Structure formats: structure tokens, C-alpha cells
Amino acid sequence: MSDEMNKELVLFDRESPEDLTPSKIVEHLDRYIVGQKMAKRVVAVALRNRVRRAKAAPELRDEIIPKNILMIGPTGVGKTEIARRLSALARAPFIKIEATKYTEVGYVGRDVESMIRDLTEAGVRTVKRSRQEEAVALVEDAVMERLLDALLHSKRTQIWSAGPDPESIPPHQGDQDQPQIDRLRERYRRKLSGGELDSTTVEVEVSETQPKMVEIFSGSGMEEMGVNMQDILGNIMPRRTKKRKVSLAEARRILTAQETEKLIDMEAVTAEALELVEQAGIIFIDEIDKIAVRERGGGGPDVSREGVQRDILPIVEGCTVVTKYGPVKTDHILFIAAGAFSTSKPSDLIPELQGRFPLRVELDNLGAEDFIRILTEPKNALIKQYVAMLESDGVQLEFTEDGVREIAAAAARVNVETENIGARRLHTLLEKVLEDISFGAPDTVSGKIRIDAAFVRDRLKDIVENVDLSRYIL
């Protein structure tokens, strides 16, 4: 999860989960995603239902299952982004998987149960990161003392170049000079707090790279499961350490991580992560339409797409999957499936799987007006990204209204004439428009540059007008 997304979430769910009302969820999604009102409403209700379920009577709570969602729409209209932003807003474990990556049991390939193992890994990372953030403030004093020890016992304690320091002492001085050591320690403490010694080189002990993972295979398919020998043998194999010379700033980061690790109870982290995955996990299954066409007899060498559906079915229905952290029940995990369904239709899915995605929403195709809004309105709008990146190299981009409209019109036209890839076309067009500027900055290009309609047409005229060339370049 990015820092920007974390800052935004403060406004929505830092105080209480009850603040995540459907209207507030849609309000947050509107900041990043243009249009698709119905899809936003559906996912907002699905997320709010989790809060409602938590308030239900205990005897009903387990009976209330999530209403899984099937999103139908072409690529580049916001399906993945809606699911990703939703999970970030809920601070829930989230993974995106592609249905075509999995194979029917009995074939060499990924086992469908691996999606739950991946989700569990994401849950453990989420909880551990949260615990680490909470522990940072608690380890500041311990880190400070270890940094002072490293400074005092380093051969490079003399950091001033203008002659010997009157308070400096040789490393490893005996107890007879303890008052002098204490004075020097306090002097370094003040300088450390002020950041004056960040470039000083000190020697710290760090753990060596963890032992290699032993690869084993699950009973179905050839899904790999990593087992760390350190985890199995525990303290029988003590961690090996080595000394490294690093800057004091880097030493602070290393020691903070080491001290934080000491405070984290991994058993508690694992238990919380399993609960979080079971009650709040979200799995986004993309390209489900690619496995929707039923087999039409005759067989053949291809892996059965209907077989993959049948393997996915128990996961979505609710079952228990064994992971290295413990068993995970999938009954209350929210599944969001998506596909273009250009050569197939949702009814081509097996009936049992169709029934497990009762909420269906069709996303709208995007046109030139939508592209204009995508380029300018969201907090992470593409134009804002390019302006910020090139500004770091001394280039001030100024996009005029007619320039933005020209880019949007070109994207819509190329989508119609070649392949419709939705808003992703804007990335390609902007790269072509700004190619010379991006390459020249900061050596030969600097200052203010105006991107108007004439500028855009000049950069794209040969490509956009030649349909055959557009197919290869845009």
C-alpha cells in the first residue's frame, strides 16, 4: 500500500470501522476512479455488509455469507482499480490473480488453493507491518543506546578533521575513565538527535541471509510451498551474524528493524492474520471469462477450462485450505471476479460457479470525455504524475485545455480503430507525446514547456493517421 493511499485512508477509517458507510466508500473511490457509478455502489455495499455482519447476533453471524461480485467490462475501464482501492480502504488482505494461471488438478501448473496461501501471506505481511509501526516508538531508546555503543567502540570515533577533540578518548577505554566516557556519550547523543553524524561510518552486526527455502510439492498439481529450515529447527540452528560497516543513518534503520523484531510475537501475528484473512480477505479473480467457454467434446491437448472452474468452485463456496500458518476457512472471503466476456458470456460459466457470484455489474466503455476527466481529475491523475516527475529535472509542463482534449480524442480514436484497451491507451499516448522531453531533460530540455493541441498533433500525426502503424506503436 502506498504512502499516498495511507494518508487518504486516515480520513475514512482511522477512527472507527463504522465510518465506512457506502456513501463514504464511493466518495473515496471517486477520488481515484472516473465514472463506473454502479460498480462503485455494488462494492461499497459489499464492504459495508462486513460491518453489518459483525454487528449481527452470534448465531446469525456465521450464516451471513458475502455476496460475491462479477464485473463485466473491457480492459482498462477500472475493474482492477476499484477492487484494489476497496481493499486499501478496508485495510484488508488483498491479492489479484488471473484465472488463466491455474490448471485442473492432475496437470502441471498452479494449484487453485495457492490463491488462499498467497492471501494468507499478504495477511501476515499486513499484520506484521502494523505491529512494526506500533513498535517503532518503543525501540527508539534502545536503538539510540546501540548507536552510541557503536560510535564509542568504533575506530572512527574521531569525526572532526580540525585536530584532536579535547573530549575524545581511545576506544575500549577502561572503567577508570567512565566519567569521561559518559560525557562523550552525552555529547554524541545530542549530535545523533540533531542528525549531525548520519554520514559517520560505524560497524554493526547484521543477520546473514536466511537459509534457502526447501521446495516441496502439494498433493494436487505441482504447487510449490516454501519451508524455511530456520522456522522448522528454531533455536537449534542459531542465526548467524556478521559485521558490516555502514553509515550511521543505515545503522539506525538496521538496528530499528532488529529491535522491532524482538518485540513482535509471531504467534500472535499469525493468529491475527488468519482471523483477518478469514473475515476480511478479498480475492480479485481477473480474466475469468477466459475459462468460461465450456468444453465442446472431442477433448484435445488443452487443459480443461471447465475443470479449472470446478476446482475454483469449492474455494468460493467455502472450504478449509491448509497453509504453512495454519488452516484457513474461505467461507467469508469476498471474491470479485472480472472479465471482458467479449467472446463468451457469463452464462458459459458452470451453473454452480454462476450461483456463487450473485451480484453482477457491467462497467461502461470509456470515451473521449471520460479520458479528459481521467487525465485531470483524480488525485493520481496521469498528467499530475508526469508534471511531478519532470519537475524534478527542472522542466515545468503546462497542459492546456485543448492539449488535454486532443490527447483524449486521439486515445478514443485509436481505441476504436485498433483494439479497445480503455484508459491504458492514455499511458502509451502520453509517453509518445512527451518522449523527446523525457529523454532530453535535464541535459538539453529545461524551463517551461506548453503542451497544447498543436504540440500533441505534431507528435502524434504520423502514428495516429496511419492505422497500420498505430497497431504496432500505440
CB 390 within 8 Å of CB 397: yes
Predicted confidence (pLDDT) per residue in 349-369, tens digit: 889 999 999 999 998 888 899
Q: What is the pLDDT of residue 173?
A: 46
3-class secondary structure for 14-37?
Answer: CCCHHHCCHHHHHHHHHCCCCCCH
Quick check: 235 pLDDT over 70?
Answer: no
Q: Which amino acid is at 26?
A: V
Q: How confident is the model at residue 467 (pLDDT cuts 50, 70, 90)?
A: low
Residue 442: asked if its preceding bond is cis (omega within 30°), the reply is yes
Task: Give the N- to C-terminal CA distance of the chain in Å, as an integer.
Answer: 30
Predicted confidence (pLDDT) per residue in 166-223, tens digit: 444 454 444 445 676 677 777 777 777 766 666 677 777 666 555 444 444 444 444 4
- Which set of grid coordinates corresponds to residue 428? 502509451
**In this predicted structure, which of 19-33, 166-180, 229-243, 266-280 has the lowest mean pLDDT?**
166-180
- Report residue 172 CA to chain centroid gap: 47
Nearest to 456 by CA among 432, 473, 437: 432
- Which set of grid coordinates corresponds to residue 33? 476512479
Quick check: 85 pLDDT over 70?
Answer: yes
CB 251 within 8 Å of CB 147: yes
Q: How confident is the model at residue 109 (pLDDT cuts 50, 70, 90)?
A: low
Measured from the Cβ of residue 405, the count of other Cβ atoms closer than 10 Å reads 17
The mean pLDDT of 45-68, rounded to a whole number, is 87
| Residue that is written with C-alpha cell 475443470 in the block | 307
The mean pLDDT of 432-460, rounded to a whole number, is 89
**In this predicted structure, which of 102-111, 144-153, 206-215 has the lowest mean pLDDT?**
206-215
Distance, CA of 134 to CA of 190 (rounded, Å):
25
Measured from the Cβ of residue 258, the count of other Cβ atoms closer than 10 Å reads 18
Quick check: 120 pLDDT over 80?
Answer: yes
**In this predicted structure, which of 82-86, 219-223, 378-382, 399-403 has the lowest mean pLDDT?**
219-223
Distance, CA of 184 to CA of 144 (rounded, Å):
14
* Contacting residues for 372 by C-beta, under 8 A, at least 6 apart: 404, 405, 408
Q: Domains for the chain: give ranges and CATH numbers.
A: 3-131+270-362 (3.40.50.300), 139-266 (no CATH), 368-473 (1.10.8.60)
Nearest to 231 by CA among 211, 206, 258, 260: 211
Nearest to 139 by CA among 35, 253, 63: 253
Give this prediction's pTM. Answer: 0.74
Residue 93: asked if its preceding bond is cis (omega within 30°), the reply is no
Report the chain's C-alpha Rg in angstroms. 28
Measured from the Cβ of residue 50, the count of other Cβ atoms closer than 10 Å reads 19
Q: What is the mean pLDDT of the chain?
A: 77
Q: What is the largest CA-CA distance in the chain?
A: 91
The mean pLDDT of 287-316, rounded to a whole number, is 73
Q: What is the pLDDT of residue 461?
A: 79
Strand 69-72 relative to strand 282-286, pairing: unpaired
Quick check: 17 pLDDT over 60?
Answer: no
Q: What is the pLDDT of residue 147?
A: 72
Q: What is the pLDDT of residue 450?
A: 93
Q: Nearest 5°: CA angle at 192, between 191 and 195?
A: 85
